[in-house]
C-alpha cells in the first residue's frame, strides 16, 4: 500500500502488534462477507497483524436483539479458515455485553466468562484467543472472581493475554492491584474511545496506563468519520446521514481549521488524526474500522506521516485536551 507497517509492544508485554489494527465491528453486518474478506486480505498484505472483534459485534447492540450477535466473529472465523492466516495475526475479542436474554448471559461473572470464551472460540473457529478483553467494567463482580476465571482460561491455553475496554483509571488500578496479589500479569492493554475530538482519557486513564505499563488501544480514531475530511465530504454531497450531518455541524468551526491545517501539510485528514494518536508512547496500536480497501489505505497513510512539535501545538489549539489530573484543576 506504499506505507511500510511498523510494530510495537502491546504495553509492557513482549507481544509485537502492528501500529494500525483492524476493527471488524461491521463485518458481516453493514459490510457484506465478500467485502469483509477483501478488507482482511488487504490488511494482511499491508502488514496488519492485530485484528479486533467482540462477541457482541454484528448487529444492533441491545439485549432484545441478541440473536444477531456473533456475526462479526463468525465472519472472521470463516475468513481465518479460508485464508490460513491464523498464525499470522494477533486475534482479539471481548466479553461482557449481553449474548442472550438470560440473567447470566452478560457481564463478568466466572460463569459467563467461561461460557462466553467457549462460544467465541467456536465462532472464530480457533482454539485460542490472543487477547481477551473485558468490554466494560463490572463493579458488581469481585476481582478475585474475574481473575480466577481468566487465570483458568490461560492455564487451559484458551487465551494468552487479558485486556480491558472502557475502564476508568481507578478501575485499572484496582484490577492490577488484585492481579498482583495473585502473582498474575493482569491487564496488558486497555481499549478506549480516544481521538483528537474526544480526549477525556488524557486526564486520569492515560497517566494510570503509563505508570502500570498497560498499552492503550484507541478506538474510533476518526470520531465516526468527523476527522476524515467530513467538511469536504459534505461539500461534495457524500454525507447523507442526518446524525453525521449533525456531528459535522457541532464541530464545524474546528473542522474548518483542522482541514485547513491538513491541506497545509499536504496530508489526508484521516492520516493526520491517526498519526497524532501514534505519537503517544502509551498507544500500542490504534483500531481503524475500515470498511473498504480505500479507507484502509487512507488510514495506513499515517505510518509515513511525522507531525512536528509546531503541528502538534496547532492541533492542540484546535482540539484542546483536558490536561492531566490533578494539575489540570489543582495547584
Active site residues: 57
State the cell numbers at 319: 482540539
Which residues does 157 contact at the CB level (< 8 Å), separation at least 6? 127, 128
Q: How far is 226 from 285, CA to CA, in rounded Å?
A: 20
Q: Which residues of 214-240 are buried (b: 16+ CB within 10 A; e: fewer)?
A: bbbbbbbbbbebbbbbbbeebeeeebe
Cβ atoms of residues 134 and 146 within 8 Å: yes
Distances in Å between the alpha carbon of 155 and those of 19, 112, 132?
29, 18, 14
- Length of the chain measured in residues: 331
Beta strands of the chain (E only): which ranges? 7-9, 16-18, 20-23, 50-52, 90-95, 129-134, 159-165, 187-193, 215-219, 286-288
Q: How far is 203 from 193, CA to CA, in rounded Å?
A: 13
Cβ atoms of residues 84 and 54 within 8 Å: no
Element (H, E) at 208: helix 205-212
Which residues does 34 contact at the CB level (< 8 Å), separation at least 6? none
Q: How far is 317 from 260, CA to CA, in rounded Å?
A: 13
Q: How far is 203 from 324, CA to CA, in rounded Å?
A: 4
Coil/strand/helix, residue 146: helix
Amino acid at each position: 500500500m506504499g506505507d511500510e507497517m511498523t510494530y510495537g509492544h502491546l504495553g509492557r508485554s513482549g507481544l509485537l502488534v502492528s501500529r494500525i489494527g483492524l476493527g471488524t465491528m461491521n463485518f458481516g453486518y453493514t459490510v457484506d462477507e465478500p467485502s469483509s474478506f477483501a478488507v482482511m486480505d488487504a490488511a494482511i498484505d499491508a502488514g496488519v497483524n492485530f485484528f479486533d472483534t467482540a462477541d457482541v459485534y454484528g448487529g444492533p447492540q441491545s439485549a432484545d436483539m441478541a440473536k444477531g450477535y456473533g456475526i462479526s466473529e463468525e465472519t472472521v472465523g470463516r475468513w481465518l479458515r479460508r485464508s490460513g492466516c491464523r498464525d499470522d495475526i494477533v486475534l482479539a475479542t471481548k466479553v461482557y455485553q449481553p449474548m442472550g436474554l438470560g440473567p447470566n448471559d452478560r457481564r463478568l461473572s466466572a460463569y459467563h466468562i467461561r461460557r462466553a470464551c467457549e462460544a467465541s472460540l467456536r465462532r472464530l473457529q480457533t482454539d485460542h484467543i490472543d487477547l481477551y478483553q473485558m468490554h466494560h467494567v463490572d463493579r458488581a463482580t469481585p476481582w478475585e472472581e474475574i481473575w480466577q476465571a481468566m487465570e483458568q482460561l490461560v492455564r487451559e491455553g484458551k487465551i494468552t493475554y487479558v485486556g480491558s475496554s472502557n475502564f476508568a483509571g481507578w478501575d485499572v488500578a484496582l484490577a492490577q492491584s488484585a492481579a498482583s496479589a495473585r502473582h498474575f500479569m493482569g491487564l496488558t492493554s486497555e481499549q478506549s474511545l480516544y481521538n483528537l475530538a474526544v480526549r477525556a482519557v488524557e486526564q486520569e486513564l492515560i497517566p494510570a496506563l503509563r505508570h502500570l505499563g498497560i498499552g492503550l488501544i484507541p478506538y474510533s480514531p476518526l470520531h465516526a468519520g468527523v476527522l476524515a475530511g467530513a467538511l469536504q465530504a459534505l461539500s461534495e454531497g457524500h454525507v447523507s446521514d442526518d446524525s453525521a450531518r449533525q456531528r459535522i455541524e457541532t464541530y464545524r468551526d474546528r473542522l474548518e481549521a483542522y482541514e485547513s491545517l491538513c491541506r497545509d501539510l499536504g496530508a489526508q485528514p484521516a492520516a493526520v488524526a491517526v498519526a497524532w494518536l501514534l505519537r503517544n508512547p502509551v498507544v500500542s496500536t490504534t483500531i481503524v474500522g475500515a470498511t473498504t480497501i480505500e479507507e484502509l489505505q487512507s488510514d495506513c497513510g499515517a505510518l509515513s506521516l511525522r507531525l512536528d512539535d509546531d503541528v502538534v501545538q496547532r492541533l492542540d489549539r484546535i482540539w484542546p485536551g483536558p490536561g492531566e489530573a490533578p494539575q489540570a484543576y489543582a495547584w
